[in-house]
Structure 1
Amino acid sequence: MSEIWIQEEQLNAEFDEMVGHYVQLEGPIDSVYFISETMESVDDRDEQRDFLLAFLIKQDRYPLYLTFLCDDMMAEEFEKEFNELGIEYSYELLEEKQAYYTFFKRVTYHPRCFTLPIKDARTLSLALEHTFYLANMNEFYSLSYSQNLNFELKRVKEWGRWKNVSIPIFKTEEDTTFITIFYDGAGFFLYSNEDRYSSIQEVCSTFPEDSKVVQINDRLLDI
């Protein structure tokens, strides 16, 4: 049984830093929650992935758009896997330039942005099984019930140096609901403008039946 901690978040500078990847919202968002397996399980990334999968399957809503970034070498492997598994996908090259080193030279490349339009629970399960490790590695990884995500190249300052970075921008329309993954894959953030996720109680009512809420915000529940 999954034991779940849910916390309502406030949009501020501290939250932006916690979310990472310079995520930006284009428009208002009514509710944001952090949801995770309890801290005792936080080092088991498979449990975090499995709860996310169970949560999404319980919602029973499709299509669901999975988006992630990766380098060009990994992209070739993903294309091969998706073709073998029969998973529909598309990708685009972002403007940003990154680099890696071989024994002989420095190689520059444009990160690839993959989008998988998921239309059923089987495809969702396969997609998470084969890609969620990227979230564990802190690569950008998100799921959305609408095609509301784009990337813009912007200059940011990291470790005292300016660099060009692909910034994920979510357009928050009236019925927007989407998910980004917390650091090291240890839980996820649920953003929504929908009534079904308008309160912690409403969100908890959508959890899988074999899960138990053990903490709400800073309050431990008697179990």
Structure 2
Amino acid sequence: MIVDLGIFPQSYVSIKPEAGGFFPFAIDGETPYLYDLSFVDRKDEHEVEEFVTQWMKKINLFPIYAFFESFESYQQELDEKCESHSIESTKYNRGDIDFYYRITLRTIEQFAAIFPYVYAHGSMNNFACFSFKKDVFSIGAREFKHAWNVLEELETPITTLEHNTTICWVNYDGDGMILISNDQKFAQLSCVIETLPDGVEYSIIEYDE
């Protein structure tokens, strides 16, 4: 698999989430390290799932806390998957029939069982994210930016980055993942490169402010 790696500009982070932009959820706290990993040649979702699972195995910062928006049609399947793998999970209502899932993953086997659902929902442009070591997710109301600078208060996931916190968000359409961190483990792009699984090819891209 080949991935494109780049450093996102700090201007992408705002106290007001941006609907359809970066980022469409609330980020509280310092975020000095922003990295984009784009899946430029992915064959299918299974290749991405295998790559991310091997990536998390090498990073090895468990427990991992997943938080994502899920449709009602997935509820039974997700509940059965969590039960069969002894995975802790909590659901919160989202609208009339859909849910937010909060799931604690303590082993790479549990991660491999649940990440396909995280990635599938992120690929449908639902919020889908996970954090290392700390549960940093909550739900609240924030003022969102829309086109032509129209502002609207909406319910949204909130990520709170305290000291040494890292989250990974599934980018739009599942085209990649964004790593957002204030942990010195990821202070340089080279630090991220060192975490890539063996055999993964990469190229480095640059973003304008």
TM over 0.5: yes
Q: After TM superposition, give the deviation of residue 72 of structure 1 in Å.
A: 2.9
Greater C-alpha radius of gyration: 1
Verify: 1:113 aligned to 2:100, yes or no. Answer: yes
Verify: 1:202 aligned to 2:204, yes or no. Answer: no
Aligned residue runs from structure 1 range 122-141, under 5 A: 122-141=109-128
Aligned residue runs from structure 1 range 16-165, under 5 A: 17-20=20-23, 22-37=24-39, 39=40, 41-42=41-42, 44-94=44-94, 97=95, 109=96, 111-145=98-132, 146-154=134-142, 156=144, 165=154
Q: After TM superposition, give the deviation of residue 14 of structure 1 in Å.
A: 8.6
Report what 1:3 is aligned to.
Answer: 2
Q: After TM superposition, give the deviation of residue 176 of structure 1 in Å.
A: 0.5
C-alpha change, 1:70 and 1:174, in structure 2 (3 Å) is same
Q: Deviations over 1:136-162 (max 9, x none)?
A: 211110010111111113464767998
Q: Distance in 1 between matches of 2:12 and 2:156?
A: 16
Aligned residue runs from structure 1 range 204-223, under 5 A: 204-213=193-202, 215-218=203-206
C-alpha change, 1:64 and 1:163, in structure 2 (3 Å) is same
C-alpha change, 1:199 and 1:180, in structure 2 (3 Å) is same
State how many pairs are aligned.
201
Q: Distance in 1 between matches of 2:146 and 2:89?
A: 32
* 1:61 aligned counterpart, secondary structure: coil
Identity rate, percent? 17
Pairwise CA RMSD of aligned residues?
2.7
Verify: 1:12 aligned to 2:7, yes or no. Answer: no
Q: After TM superposition, give the deviation of residue 128 of structure 1 in Å.
A: 1.5
* 2:87 aligned counterpart, secondary structure: coil
- Aligned partner letter, 2:183: E
7-16 vs 165-174, greater mean Cα deviation: 7-16
Task: Check the 8 A contact 1:48/1:186 in 2, yes or no.
Answer: no
Report what 1:179 is aligned to.
Answer: 168
Task: Check the 8 A contact 1:55/1:208 in 2, yes or no.
Answer: yes
Q: Distance in 2 between matches of 1:185 and 1:25?
A: 20
Q: Deviations over 1:59-96 (max 9, x none)?
A: 112100011112333323322332234332111224xx
Q: After TM superposition, give the deviation of residue 168 of structure 1 in Å.
A: 1.9
Q: Deviations over 1:106-129 (max 9, x none)?
A: xxx053111110000111101113
**TM-score calculated relative to the size of structure 1:** 0.79
Task: Check the 8 A contact 2:81/2:113 in 1, yes or no.
Answer: no
Structure 1, unpaired ranges of 5+: 98-108
Structure 2, unpaired ranges of 5+: none
* 1:210 aligned counterpart, secondary structure: coil
